[in-house]
Structure 1
Amino acid sequence: MKNTTREAEARLVEHGTPASHPKSKGFPQNRFEDYQHVEGWPNLAKRAKYNDTLEKWEDLEVIEAFSGPIHAVKFRGPKTIYRVLKPGRNGKASPWWTETLPPDSQVWREDLAVLDNFNLNNFFVKFEIPAGRELKVWKGKAAEQFNSESGQFLAGGGMQVYIDWPADLKALIEKLPSLSTGWGKTTNRYGYEIAANAKNGASVDKLLSNEYATKQAKTGTK
C-alpha cells in the first residue's frame, strides 16, 4: 500500500533550504537521526536514502513533517478523528489526521503548519474507527513550514497523526460526506506577517523570536 505517497497538499516538505529562509524560530523539521522506528508500526524511513555528494539524507517523507519525538501509539475503536480538506483537490483517505477538529482556521493553519499551497480547506471529514479495530499510528508535533516563493512561514507545534490506512478502511473513508467548517476564507491570511514586516526593515530573527514565544505560550512547550 502506498499511503506514504503525498498528494499535492499532503504535507509536502520543501526540500533544500532557500537562501532567503529565515532563521528557524518555530518547531524545526526532524532529521533522519531523530526518527526511532518501532517494530509493528509503519516504517517512516523506508524511502530514505543517503546522498554521498551532498552528505545528507533525502526522501525522508513524513519524518520532516514532524518536530521532536514521534510517538508510536495505538488507536482503538470506537474513536473519532478528523481531517480538513478541499473536496476534489485533497484526498479524504490521506494519512494526515487530528484527534480533534481545530476550533478555527488560524489554529488549523498555524499550529499544523498547513501552507496555503498544501491545502485550501473549507471542509472536513470525520471518521469513526470501528469498534474493536486497532490501528498503529504515529503521533507528534507538526514541524514548521516555509514557502520561499510567497514568504509564508508557519511555526507548527500542533499535534498531528499519521495513519497508514488499510484498504478496507480507506474505502470507507473515501465515501464519507464532506462537511463545512464554516471558516470562510483561510488563504493569504496567516503566516505572511514576517515577510511583510521584513520588507519594511524589521529584523526577521526578532519577528520570528516573537512568534515562537507566542507559540510557546499557547502550547505550553519550550
Structure 2
Amino acid sequence: MPVFGAQRVYKDIASFHGAITAVTSRELAGKKIYRAFGNASRVTPASESFAGGFWAAAYWGVGEVPKTAKAWRESAAVLDDWNANGFMVVAHLPDNLAELWPEAKAWIGRIAEQYSPDSPFQYLEGGGEQLVANFGKNLVEQITAIGNEVKAAGSNEVRTEMIDGVRFDFFKTNWKDVERVHGYGEASNKQAATTRRLTEDEVREK
C-alpha cells in the first residue's frame, strides 16, 4: 500500500462498509472532522472516552457535526455500550494541512451498520463518513489534555484552540436523549436478527 510504505496494514475493518481509501494529509486538507468524547456513563457500560482517542488509530467523523444525539447515533452507528459522550471536538483541517501535518495518514470510508450481541438489542444503520487516523502521539496527547480540561470544567462555552496550526473547537453537546433511546424496538430487533443471521451464514460459507 503506497501511502503506508513498508508498514503492515489491515485492509478489512468491520467498522467500514464498502470501499476504504488510504489518504494522506494532502487529501484530508479542507475537511472538517469530529469526535465525541466524555465521562463514563452511569447508564451503560461505556467507559470514559478521550478527545484525542488512541494515537495510532483514532476514529473521527467527517463532515458536518451531528446536531442531535439521534443523528450521531444512527449515522455513526455508535452503540450505547461503546463510547462515552457528552462532548465534541471538531477539527477544521486547513488547505495547507500537508505542510502542517506531513506525516498524517488515515483510512476513509462509509460507516458500517452495527448491532449489539445481547439484550437489550440495539441496531444502528450507519452510513456516515469516517476516518481512522494516525495524527501522531504528540498531537493526540495535546487534544486529549484539552478535552480533559473541558470535561472537568463542564462549561457550555465553546473552547477554541490552535494545535499545530489547526483550529480545534471543544464543546458540550447537552444531549439528553443519548442513551437507551435510539436503535431499539421491534424493527431494530428484526434488523439486528437479519444482520446477525447473514453474518453467521457468511462465516459458515468461508
TM-score using structure 1 length? 0.58
Alignment correspondent of 2:173: 181
Q: Which residue of 2 aligns with 1:143?
A: 112
Paired residue type of 2:117: S
Q: Is the 8 A contact 2:30 2:93 kept in 1?
A: yes
**Identical amino acids, percent of aligned pairs:** 30
Task: Please provide the CA RMSD for this pair.
Answer: 2.9
Matches within 5 A, 1:204-219: 204=190
Match of residue 113, structure 1, among 72, 77, 87: 77
Q: Is the 8 A contact 1:125 1:176 kept in 2?
A: no
In the comparison of the two structures, how many residue pairs are matched? 150
5+ long unaligned stretches in structure 1:
1-37, 47-59, 199-203, 210-222
Distance (Å, rounded) in 1 between the aligned partners of 2:146 and 2:125: 31
- Which 4+ residue blocks in structure 1 deviate beyond 6 angstroms? none
**Quick one: distance in 2 between partners of 1:127 and 1:82?**
6
After TM superposition, the score normalised by the length of structure 2 is: 0.62
Match of 2:50? 91
Aligned AA for 2:2?
E
Bigger fraction of residues in helix: 2
- Determine the structure 1 residue equivalent to 2:126: 156
Shift in alpha-carbon separation, 1:172–1:140, aligned structure 2, 3 A:
same
Letter in 2 for 1:152: Q
Q: Which blocks of at least 5 consecutive residues in structure 2 are unaligned?
A: 41-47, 151-170, 196-206
Partner of 1:45: 10
Is 2:67 aligned against 1:103?
yes
Alpha-carbon separation, structure 2, partners of 1:194 and 1:75: 43
User: Residues 169 and 79 of structure 1: is their aligned pair in 2 closer, same or farther, counting only changes over 3 Å?
Assistant: farther
